[in-house]
Structure 1
Amino acid sequence: MTELPEKVEDIEIRLLLEALFLRYHYDFRNYAMASIKRRLRQAREQLGFSTFSAMQESILRDADMLPQLLRFMTVQVSEMFRDPSYFRALRERVVPHLKTYPSLKVWVAGCSTGEELYSLVILFREEGLEERTLFYATDINHDALETAQAGIYPMERIPLFTQNHRQSGGKSSLSDYYQAAYGRASLDKTLRKNVVFSDHSLVTDSVFAEMHLISCRNVLIYFDKALQDRALGLFEDSLARRGFLGLGSKESLRFSSHASAFADFVREEKIYQRSSE
């Protein structure tokens, strides 16, 4: 397929993003353009459209096309205990502080298909904190949330999950938390007993509870600076005083207008603590 001239393609993409917002209230307009372009080109090719204008026409008139497009627009690449040193730092450095609270709220923002959520629930169970904790798992992709709620993953992914769990300082065997059958691992249903799954957009939605820990990793890298600032402001407003924020390895508060509201807590793992003021 012959590529469209860059300028025309940019116009088409911006019109498509505007249409998505006006029709369905999904706002990707301030996502990093290089990332959006790459994903939309992949969607155009795999969904069989010759132009972004044709894709926009279909999306506007056929609501069934929306979930198909969202699969390309939202990142769904994760693994349990991804970056084990991050979870080890939570276990060794953050958990001792959290144990001083009688009840806790934890928000996994941009939870995708649930791997990070279950990692935190297992960690909290191993550290004796699960019973006093309410977990919020949010994402803008309804299909991803359904996968997270089901808690079923291909067995071929389990060896990596198991290795990560061990390296994170796990105090049990990961096999204690799932049953294997028909090539799939089904996580123990009790891991979901204190979890609230919900649609939530860091772009358009507001604060909904006071949190003691927010983990939002590898989401902000897909936002432009203005949208990163909005999300970080949301986290600042959502965190209890002295609450903790965990970001991805390539993300930072350094150039944000909200940087002064946080202090480095475990700098190398991008774990920050909200100020007490």
Structure 2
Amino acid sequence: MDISAINDEQVEILLSDLLEYYGYDFTGYSRASLKRRISRLFSLDKALSFAEFRYRIMKDNVYFKRFVEQITVNVTEMFRDPAFFKTLRDSILPALGTYPFIRIWLAGCSTGEEAYSISIILKELNLLHKSLIYATDLNPVVLEKASQGMFAMSQMKQYSENYITSGGTKDFSTYYTANYSLAKFNDELKSKMIFSTHNLVSDHSFNEFQLILCRNVLIYFDRELQHQVLDLFNESLEDLGYLALGTKETIDFSNIAKNYKRVPANKIWRKIK
């Protein structure tokens, strides 16, 4: 037996602990993905035994934060999937521009690259002044990073290419200042962002939005939890508002599907009633 691996029973014990001690409910997450990430951390940190690993998670608050950071998925980049952001720029946000105020919920915002991407497009469409982006995530560690607005300079070439492909026409470097190995994005971009912890599993709707984005999060949930989260989004979205999901995600087969019409060529749906 591989002593560095975590078995199914131990995964369930840890999930139960997280719910009981911290109120974090991961029970609806895909077990295969969770088990792989927990096993990786267990092996990486060279825990002597499962009992020691479990004790550290429960008793060491710093380690608990590391644990949550490692088992939640935080893979993102600015203007990821440029065709999607081009649709936002050309169709979705201009349509919302007729509203007196635009409220956007970015659920599962991770380290914030997507939030800054949306803010840049809003600024270029002259809509930032009357917009508010609620950027939420389960993980307070990534939210802290997101609120700083600093990303690796080594990523800027890729982000600039994504920006241009998504319809951007300006010099991308005007949006940040270089600080050694980091790019610090202009404070104006985050002036219309609110970063806050929100647990899609257990927390309720907290506002009415014209646009909700939750891209590449639902794929890590089981079917029952996916439907629960889609119900939450439906409850939080105004009539004629837009819901955007990731490339492998859909609202088809869900309870809310009958209330939405798909926007052609993208995983974006408009609420029709």
Band of TM-score, shorter chain? over 0.9
**1:252-272 deviation line (CA, Å, top 9, x unaligned):** 111222212221013x32011
1:215 is aligned to 2:213: yes
**1:198-224 deviation line (CA, Å, top 9, x unaligned):** 000101100001001111101000000
Q: In structure 2, which of residues 85, 88, 91 is the aligned counterpart of residue 90 of structure 1?
A: 88
Structure 1: distance between partners of 2:217 and 2:56? 28
TM-score, normalised via structure 1 length: 0.95
Structure 1: distance between partners of 2:32 and 2:51? 19
Judged with a 3 Å threshold, the aligned counterparts in structure 2 of structure 1 residues 191 and 50 are, in CA distance, closer, same or farther, namely same
Q: In the alignment, which residue of structure 1 is the partner of 2:117?
A: 119
Q: In structure 2, which of residues 242, 245, 253 is the aligned counterpart of residue 244 of structure 1?
A: 242
Aligned length: 273
Q: Secondary structure at the match of 1:105?
A: strand
Are the equivalent residues in 1 in contact too, given 2:94–2:125 (CA < 8 A)? no
TM-score, normalised via structure 2 length: 0.96
Q: In the alignment, which residue of structure 2 is the partner of 1:172?
A: 170
Deviation at 1:104, TM superposition (A): 0.7
Deviation at 1:29, TM superposition (A): 0.9
Q: In the alignment, which residue of structure 1 is the partner of 2:269?
A: 272
Q: Which runs of 5+ in 2 are unaligned?
A: none
Structure 1 segment 60-99 matched on structure 2, within 5 A: 60-99=58-97
1:42 is aligned to 2:47: no
Q: In the alignment, which residue of structure 2 is the partner of 1:55?
A: 53
Q: Which moved more, 1:156-165 or 1:51-60?
A: 51-60
Letter in 1 for 2:227: D
**1:129-167 deviation line (CA, Å, top 9, x unaligned):** 111101100001111001100011111100000000000
Q: Secondary structure at the match of 2:61?
A: coil
Structure 2: distance between partners of 1:53 and 1:211? 44
Letter in 2 for 1:83: D
Q: Secondary structure at the match of 1:27?
A: coil
Q: Secondary structure at the match of 2:195?
A: strand
RMSD: 1.5
Judged with a 3 Å threshold, the aligned counterparts in structure 2 of structure 1 residues 252 and 183 are, in CA distance, closer, same or farther, namely same
